Amino acid sequence: MELTQFTDYSLRVLIFLGRSENRISTIREIADYYQISENHLMKIIPHLVRKGYIQSIRGKGGGIRLSKSPGSIKIGKLVRETEESLEVVECFKPGENSCALLPGCTLKSALHQAMQNFLGTLDQYTLSDLLGIPNKKGATAIAVTP
């Protein structure tokens, strides 16, 4: 499974903000740090605000910051909320399926189980884990110094 750029950048934004320790950051600052387009981030930030992950502060000195503690942000939930589709093959897409193997195919079941395991593993991690905040899972720290 390959995550979309939207999800990848969403995770990067949250990691950056999590390492910023409640400091207000700007889109430009994040874009410069990761060397990614501000335009891409301008599409992602409103989504993260709507979903309640970050807070947007308007005006002079404004920017964005986490609206939740890193320990309360579940990575599996974020992936579900940022991926357009988690259907890994055509037969998962109702109305678009033209697979002749479908009636007797066991691949769909195996792929569905694999996707559930993938998401289940991500559900075990929070943003704190990705930041390297001490945890029982032994996640390694990511060096981000805004």
**CB-CB neighbours of 14 under 10 Å:** 22
CA distance 94 to 60: 48
The one-letter amino acid code at 134 reads P
Q: What angle do CA 22, 23, 25 make, to 5 degrees?
A: 120
| Cα–Cα separations (whole angstroms), residue 23 to 70, 109, 141 | 14, 45, 19
Query: Whole-prediction pTM value?
Result: 0.80
Task: Retrieve residue 22's tokens.
Answer: 């409640």
Give residue 100's pLDDT: 65
Tell how far CA 130 is from the center of its chain: 11
**Distance (Å, rounded) from C-alpha 126 to C-alpha 76?**
8
In order of their start, the domains of the chain are 5-131 (1.10.10.10)
Instruction: For 93-135, write each residue's pLDDT tens digit.
Output: 666 666 666 667 777 778 888 889 999 999 999 999 999 865 4
The predicted pLDDT at position 10 comes to 97
Each residue of 84-106: b (16+ CB within 10 Å) or e? eeeeeeebeeeeeeeeeeeeeee
- Summarised one tens digit per residue, pLDDT across range 27-48 is 999 999 999 999 999 999 999 9
Dump pLDDT digits (tens) for 39-93.
999 999 999 999 999 999 998 989 999 999 999 999 999 999 998 877 666 555 6
